[in-house]
């Protein structure tokens, strides 16, 4: 590891003896050997070659944790000051790698097998059968199509959030009250929201919204029986919780714009409308794009409200990919097929987000 270009220069005068280095290496390899030994023993036990009476894979887990600790300690032992620096990043890296990379690899194995957790047969490798099943599963494609609609709704959310942020940034009284009030929906759990709004306020007979609509002359208002309206209601509920999030980010961006720019524009004779489109909006582009990208990431995880309010109905019209896979598992406990769907979804997301980020990058920094 080189230290040139560090923001913080530390002069190190470590002389680490050969013996100390050897001890550090021994620690890492020794604990790795222990981990391998325990893992092999457990695997043998699992496959019935040996009878050791393990009930779970916990011993391997403990050995793995021990190896992680030894790896961190040996960094300091073998490399002194540089090792101490590595120690800032190493624990989190180990944590994320073991919590993401291993399960993902494991997920890839599961995805190509027929594995029903409820049946005693266990895992059976079945090649691309799951892929073929996915190709012919109209509900999965339907869920993907719904996700496109849900994502497009972000444009409207963004417009509303921008408007609210502009108002909050104007010279108003009781700004703190409005800020807190606007922020509150973000604090509520989606599950509580799905009862508070989806199941009681939007209830057909006694809900206040239905009552209001009846007053206004709509007879028999129903919110979750026709596909389009049900989808719209899900969008509205999700927008209600997340508009404050975009609003706060945009507000922070607005407050960072120096006043002089708008004043100069006014002196030059620009009206409020021109000022917004020629000064404020272009300056807000980077913030807007960050806010929208993060919002898209959150939107792609949308599930709680759908699971609790409509559970995908009517006829899969409101299904998101996540809620669909959730029910796929709950109803049929088919781990293999569900994992394949999830991994396909991940691949689609990664490709789409990469393209989107590239496009946003080019758009924000045009080359002349």
Partner 1 sequence: MTTQIFHDTEADRSFKAKRISGRILIYGILIVWAFISIFPIYWTITTSFKMAPDVMKGNMVPWWDYIPKWLGWRSLGLSPDTIANESTVREEFLKRFWNSTVVAVSASMLAVMLGSMTAYGLSRFNYRFGFMRNPDISFFFLSQLILPPVVLALPFLVLYKSLAMLDTRIGLILLYTLTVLPIVIWIMRDQFGSIPTELEEAALVDGLSIWGAFLTIILPIAAPGMVASFILSLVLTWNEYFFAALLTSSHATTLPVMVASQTGSQGISWWSMAALSFAAILPLIIIGIALERFIIKGMAAGAVK
Touching partner 1, residues 65-104 (CB under 8 A): 81, 84-89, 91-93, 95-96, 99-100, 103-104
Closest distance to partner 1 from the beta carbon of 58 (Å): 6
Identity of the residue, 22 or 125, whose beta carbon is nearer to partner 1 in the bound complex: 125
Q: How far apart are CA 161 and CA 250, in angstroms?
A: 8
User: Least distance (Å) from partner 1 to the CB of residue 145?
Assistant: 17
By CB under 8 A, residue 110 contacts partner 1: yes
| Interacting residue with partner 1 among 27, 193, 233, 292 (CB under 8 A) | 193
- C-alpha span between 126 and 111 (Å, rounded): 9
Query: Could you say which of 39, 50, 134, 167 contacts partner 1 (CB under 8 A)?
Result: 167
Q: At closest approach, how far in Å is the CB of 272 from partner 1?
A: 9
Quick note: the x/- pattern for partner 1 over 123-152, rule CB under 8 A, is ------------------------------
Q: What's the token pair of residue 216?
A: 């206004």
Contact at 8 Å (CB) between 311 and 198? Answer: no
Of the listed pieces 17-25, 131-139, 227-235, 343-351, which binds partner 1 according to CB under 8 A? 343-351
Question: How many residues bind partner 1, per CB under 8 A?
Answer: 108
Among 143, 230, 235, 342, binds partner 1 (CB under 8 A): 342
Query: Least separation, in Å, of the C-beta of 86 and partner 1?
Result: 7
CB of 336 to partner 1, least distance (A): 9
Q: Which one of the spans 13-21, 151-159, 227-235, 346-354 is the region binding partner 1 (CB under 8 A)?
A: 346-354
CB hemisphere CA count around 356 (13 angstroms): 15
Span near partner 1 by CB under 8 A; candidates 18-26, 31-39, 179-187, 221-229: 179-187
From the CB of 200, what's the least distance to partner 1, in Å? Answer: 6
Binding piece for partner 1, criterion CB under 8 A, among 6-14, 15-23, 24-32, 221-229:
6-14
Of residues 278 through 337, those in contact with partner 1 by CB under 8 A are 286-287, 290-291, 294, 297, 300-301, 303-304, 307-308, 321-322, 325-326, 329, 335
Q: Is the peptide bond before 314 cis (omega within 30 degrees of 0)?
A: yes
Of the pair 265, 321, the CB lying nearest partner 1 is at: 321
Return the residue of 75, 78, 310, 339 that touches partner 1, per CB under 8 A: 339
Q: Which residues pair with 125 in a beta bridge?
A: 113
Judged by CB under 8 A, which of 41, 71, 153, 346 binds partner 1?
Answer: 346
Q: How far is CA 19 from the centre of its chain?
A: 47
Q: Is 7 in the site for partner 1 (CB under 8 A)?
A: yes
Report the nearest approach of partner 1 to the CB of residue 297 (Å).
Answer: 6
Q: What is the 3-state secondary structure (H, E, C) of the chain?
A: CCCCCCCCCCCCCCCCCHHHHHHHHHHHHHHHHHHHHHHHHHHHHHHCCCCCCCCCCHHHHHHHHHHHHHHHHHHHHHHHHHHHHHHHHHHHHHHHHHHHHHHHHHHHHHHCEECECCCCCCCEECCCHHHHHHHCCHHHHHHHHHHHHHHHHHHHHHHHHHHHHHHHHCCCCCHHHHHHHHHHHHHCCHHHHHHHHHHHHCCCCCCHHHHHHHHCCCCCCCCCCCHHHHHHHHHHHHHHHHHHHHHHHHHHHHHCCCHHHHHHHHHCCCCHHHHHHHHHHHHHHHHHHHHHHHHHHHHCCCCHHHHHHCCCCCCCCCCCHHHHHHHHHHHHCEHHHHHHHHHHHHHHHHHHHHHHHHHHHHHHCCCC
Query: Which CB atom, from 81 or from 129, has the smaller least distance to partner 1?
Result: 81
Task: Give me the least distance between CB of 255 and partner 1, in Å please.
Answer: 8
From the list 190, 224, 280, 295, which residue makes contact with partner 1 (rule: CB under 8 A)?
A: 190
Strands 113-114 and 124-125: antiparallel
Q: Which is nearer to partner 1, 60 or 231 (CB)?
A: 60
């Amino acid at each position: 590891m080189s230290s040139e270009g560090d923001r913080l220069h530390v002069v190190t005068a470590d002389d680490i003896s050969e013996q100390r280095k050897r001890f550090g290496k021994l620690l890492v390899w020794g604990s790795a050997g222990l981990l391998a030994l325990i893992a092999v023993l457990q695997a043998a036990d699992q496959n019935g070659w040996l009878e050791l009476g393990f009930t779970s894979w916990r011993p391997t887990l403990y050995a793995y944790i021990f190896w992680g600790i030894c790896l961190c300690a040996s960094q300091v032992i073998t490399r002194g000051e540089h090792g101490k620096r590595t120690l800032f990043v190493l624990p989190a890296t180990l944590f994320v790698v073991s919590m993401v990379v291993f399960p993902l690899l494991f997920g890839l194995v599961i995805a190509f097998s027929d594995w029903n957790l409820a049946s005693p047969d266990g895992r059976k490798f079945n090649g691309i059968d799951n892929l073929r099943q996915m190709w012919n599963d109209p509900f999965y494609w339907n869920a993907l199509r719904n996700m496109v609609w849900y994502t497009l709704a972000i444009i409207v959310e963004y417009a509303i959030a921008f408007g609210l942020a502009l108002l909050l940034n104007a010279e108003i009284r009781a700004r703190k009250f409005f800020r807190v009030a606007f922020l509150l929906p973000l604090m509520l759990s989606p599950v509580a929201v799905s009862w508070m709004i989806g199941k009681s306020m939007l209830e057909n007979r006694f809900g206040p919204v239905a009552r209001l609509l009846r007053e206004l002359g709509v007879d028999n208002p129903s919110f979750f029986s026709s596909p389009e309206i049900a989808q719209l209601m899900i969008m509205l509920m999700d927008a209600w919780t997340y508009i404050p999030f975009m609003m706060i980010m945009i507000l922070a961006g607005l407050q960072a714009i120096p006043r002089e720019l708008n004043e100069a524009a006014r002196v030059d004779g620009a009206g409020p409308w021109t000022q917004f489109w020629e000064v404020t909006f272009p300056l807000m582009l980077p913030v807007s794009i960050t806010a929208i990208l993060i919002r898209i990431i959150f939107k792609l995880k949308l599930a709680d409200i759908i699971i609790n309010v409509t559970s995908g109905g009517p006829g899969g019209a409101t299904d998101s990919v996540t809620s669909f896979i959730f029910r796929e598992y709950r109803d049929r406990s088919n781990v293999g097929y569900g994992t394949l769907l999830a991994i396909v979804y991940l691949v689609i997301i990664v490709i789409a987000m990469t393209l989107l980020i590239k496009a946003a990058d080019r758009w924000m920094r045009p080359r002349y």
